[in-house]
Structure formats: structure tokens, C-alpha cells
Amino acid sequence: MEDTLSVDFLRLKEYLDTIVHKVNSIDFIELDPISVPHCFSDPEDIEISGFFSAMLSWGNRKTIINKSLELMSMMDNHPFDFIIHHTENDLKSLHHFKHRTFQGTDLLYFIDFLHRFYSENKSLETAFRPTMNKAYHQEEALTQFHTLFFDHHLAPERTKKHIATPAKKSTCKRLNMYLRWMVRSDDRKVDFGLWKTIPASALMIPLDVHVENYARKLGLLTHKQRDWKAVVEITNHLRKMNPLDPVVYDYALFGLGVGLKGSQDYF
């Protein structure tokens, strides 16, 4: 029985590696929200535009990209400079920004948080890795980030639904995706690898319906709910295939989920 499982596991790893090779390429960028931070070259602009693009990432991908680019345009395509130096007058046009349930009130609080944070820190990485005296653990990091983000007496209650936390069993799909963008690094140059204190080995899979469907088909997920426990289960399986870079398989599971040609070859 162990030999059969070993062979099946190796076959699945081989298959997913093949899909990763197809999807993790420059061609992937154009049709994905990661294209928005790829419009910038300064690290601060990349991480801020990436943060907004990731947080707006639900719904149709084309719409997500267009709304994210619209928001960057409203910041004069210099998001870091806007965050640091904006005036009250500069904020007036942002009141009317809307993407699905993300509205002006939410956007203004996001900007306020980022302004306060960057006034005291050089990089948003610090918000996810506030201390270096213990091993990085993503569940803990995301929980602490949620607490930090809303640690202000003016934080709108309605905005809390836009920053997920494992403490509420959320999959934290958008935050996990954002961390993949900022932390992962390889020769394909899709992810940025800007943040060096968070190990890629500790990242967690961004779990959406596409990833969930194929994770179940491939036997990587048995947990019934799409929640944080599902994220842990899938990532633990992927970590066995690639201990140093488990979420590289996000490319494979997402690619399969959106109908990549040849996706039936394994079955």
C-alpha cells in the first residue's frame, strides 16, 4: 500500500510541476491582477499597488485589473507619494470609488492606515513580520496584521470584512495571494520576491473556488468547508512536494481551475 501511495504521489507531483511550468510565465501576468504592481518599478509603489490590487481581487479578473488601474490613476500613478503626501483635497475624488462592496469609506481608511504605517516604517513587510526573534508562522502573521490594521478608534466596522483573518476561519485568499506576490522569487519573474525576511517555505495557498475544486479532485483536500483548515490541509500536502516553495503550485491549481488546456491528462 505504501509503494502505491508513493508512486501516486510522485506522479501527482510530476503532473503539477508540468502545469506550473506552463502557467508560471510572463504570459500569465497580463491577464492577472499581479499585472497592476508590474506597472511599477519602485519597491514602495509595487507593494502598495499590489496590496490594493490583491485586496480588490474578487470577481471578474478583467474588472479587478481595470478597477485597480483606475485607483492607481486616481493616485496619479505614484501610490507611495500619494499615500505619504496627499491632502484632504486630494481625497475628495476617492469618496466615489467603488468595487463591489469595497467603497469610499473603506478606501479612505485603507489610505489612512497606510499613511500612518509608512510614516513610521519603510516597508509593509514589517506589518506581517513585526519581530524576528521567532520563526515566521503565517496564521499568526495574518491574525496580527488584522489586529494592527484596525487598531484605531476611527476604524469603520464595515471595513473589517475587507481584511480577512484566520481567527474567523477565513481562507484569507487575497492576503495569502499578496504574500505570494511579495515573497516568492524565481527566474520566471512573475512574483516579485521583494520581501526577504519571510520564507517562501512558510507561505500558505491562496484558496479560491478554482483551487478548491482541483485540490479535491486531486485528493489534496478532504476537509468539507472552504476555510482556514482547508488552506492548512492543502498547503501541508503541497509542502511535501516542494518544502521550500509549496505555493508555487498555486499556478498549477489555479491554471487547472480556469480550464488550462491539457488539464485532463492526469485523470
The pLDDT, as a whole number, for residue 267 is: 61
Alpha helices in 24-158 (DSSP H): 26-30, 43-55, 61-74, 79-85, 88-91, 104-118, 125-128, 138-149
pLDDT tens digits along 78-90: 999 999 999 999 9
Per the prediction, the chain carries an average pLDDT of: 94
CA distance 54 to 59: 12
pLDDT tens digits along 142-181: 999 999 999 999 999 999 999 999 999 999 999 999 999 9
The residues, any chain, with a CB within 8 Å of residue 134's CB and separated by 6 or more, are none
Q: What is the mean pLDDT of residues 30-42?
A: 97
Stronger pLDDT, 258 or 202, i.e. the higher one: 202
Tell me the three state secondary structure of residue 22.
helix
What Å distances lie between residue 205 and 89, 125, 171, 215, CA to CA? 40, 18, 9, 11
Q: Find out whether 100 and 161 touch, Cβ atoms under 8 Å.
A: no
User: Amino acid identity of 112?
Assistant: D
The residues, any chain, with a CB within 8 Å of residue 228's CB and separated by 6 or more, are 139, 166, 169, 170, 171, 172
224: which DSSP letter? S
- In three state form, how does the secondary structure of 75-91 look? CCCCHHHHHHHCCHHHH
Q: What is the mean pLDDT of residues 198-211?
A: 96
Query: Comparing 103-107, 126-130, 164-168, 179-183, which segment has the lowest mean pLDDT?
Result: 126-130
| Residue 133: pLDDT band with limits 50, 70, 90 | confident
- Percentage, residues of the chain above pLDDT 90: 90
Question: Would you kindly state where each structural domain of the chain is located, as residue ranges?
Answer: 33-165
pLDDT tens digits along 108-117: 999 999 999 9
- In three state form, how does the secondary structure of 240-258 look? HHCCCCHHHHHHHHHHHHC
Q: What is the mean pLDDT of residues 186-199?
A: 97
The pLDDT, as a whole number, for residue 5 is: 45
Residue 86 buriedness (CB in 10 A; 0-12 / 13-18 / 19+) = middle
Q: Find out whether 253 and 22 touch, Cβ atoms under 8 Å.
A: no
Torsion sign, CA atoms 250, 242, 37, 160: positive
What Å distances lie between residue 71 and 67, 114, 139, 143, CA to CA? 6, 15, 29, 27
Q: Find out whether 231 and 170 touch, Cβ atoms under 8 Å.
A: no
The pLDDT, as a whole number, for residue 259 is: 72
At which residue does the C-alpha cell 525576511 appear? 197
The 10 Å Cβ neighbour count of residue 213 is 14
| All three cell numbers of 126 | 514589517
The 10 Å Cβ neighbour count of residue 257 is 18
Q: What is the mean pLDDT of residues 214-238?
A: 96
